[in-house]
Amino acid sequence: MQELLFQLATSKTSWLAARQAAVAANIANINTAGYRSVDVKPFTELIDDGMLNIPNPSTDDKLLGSSPASAVTAKKGWEVQQSGNSVSLEQEMLKGGEIQQDYALSAGITKTFHRMLLAAAKA
Amino acid sequence: MDALQSSIAAASSGLEAQSKRLRIAAENLANAQSTGATAGADPYRRKTISFQSEMDRSTGAALVNVAGIEADQRPFELRFDPGNAAADSTGYVKYPNVNPLIELADMREANQSYEANLQVIKQARDLISMTIDLLRSNS
């Protein structure tokens, strides 16, 4: 049970890091002609596909070693400019904010859970 | 490499590209009145810059770099000024094909994109420090 929660939080943070890398690539290429914005696959989809190293309690441990960063897909942005560039700065900034919040949540959960484990061990 | 490190690498390549673009806009603006030195000589020709996306093999990040700096082939502006040293036999002087308004708008856009890249670096740094904070005990 404990491993499951820690692994879920770790997968989520590494997924968020991959998403941050996608946002960084989009923003770096904001003035590149013909560049198409990219995004990572949604986290729930990755869990459903069994692409994360999360042991499934019902079946056995299945460790398909595929990092979430490999699941980068070209995504349709809000607008496509004349130059063929589909990066929207506003959209990327929103994504950045989301990533920050979710990362703080994951880190907070990990921290709290670790404190709970320590409290149980000390008691 | 770590995804957060590669996002910082991508953002810093963006910073570099945008600062080069700002440099080109500044060069154009500085030379907006640079005529040729001899009679009938060509004046300063406006420069343009273009970017391309490049995959960095070591980090897997989509970096950006300068594809090339080209000369703008639009015709020069002719002004009647017989007293000028660069005037040709008919008294016309060729002035650079630089439009200061376009350069200012370009500078503005470069500035905005630079800020966006800086913001990405700040965010990645925040995420890294959140991870490091997990190690801090009792806080």
Residues whose CB is less than 8 angstroms from the CB of residue B135 and which lie 6 or more positions away in sequence, other chains included: none
Residue B48: name the closest of B129, B124, B110 by CA.
B110
pLDDT of residue B73: 92
Give me the helices (H) in A29-73, please: 43-48
Report whether pLDDT(A59) > 50: no
d(CA A69, nearest CA chain B) in Å? 8
Task: Compute the distance between CA of residue B107 and CA of residue B113 in angstroms, rounded to an integer.
Answer: 10
Task: Compute the distance between CA of residue B82 and CA of residue B70 in angstroms, rounded to an integer.
Answer: 31
Mean pLDDT of all residues in A44-61: 61
Q: Which of B8, B24, B51, B125 to mutate to test the interface with A (most CBs of A within 10 A)?
A: B51
Q: Which of A30, A73, A94, A98 to mutate to test the interface with B (most CBs of B within 10 A)?
A: A30
pLDDT of residue B2: 84
Write the ipTM.
Answer: 0.83
Residues of A with CB below 8 A from B52's CB? 32
List the single range of A35-39, A105-109, B19-23, B73-77 with lowest mean pLDDT.
A35-39
pTM: 0.82
Among the partner-chain residues A20, A33, A69, the one whose CB lies closest to the CB of B124 is A20
For B126, the token pair is 């925040």
A16 vs B126: CB contact, 8 Å cut-off? no
Q: Are B56 and B67 in contact (CB under 8 A)?
A: no
Among the partner-chain residues B50, B124, B130, the one whose CB lies closest to the CB of A24 is B124
Task: Compute the distance between CA of residue A106 and CA of residue A85 in angstroms, rounded to an integer.
Answer: 33
d(CA B114, nearest CA chain A) in Å? 9
Q: Look up tokens 């290429």; give the residue.
A: A29
* All structural domains of chain A with their residue ranges: 2-122
Backbone phi, psi, residue B63, to 5°? -80, 170
The number of C-alpha atoms within 13 Å of B41 and in the hemisphere containing its C-beta is 11
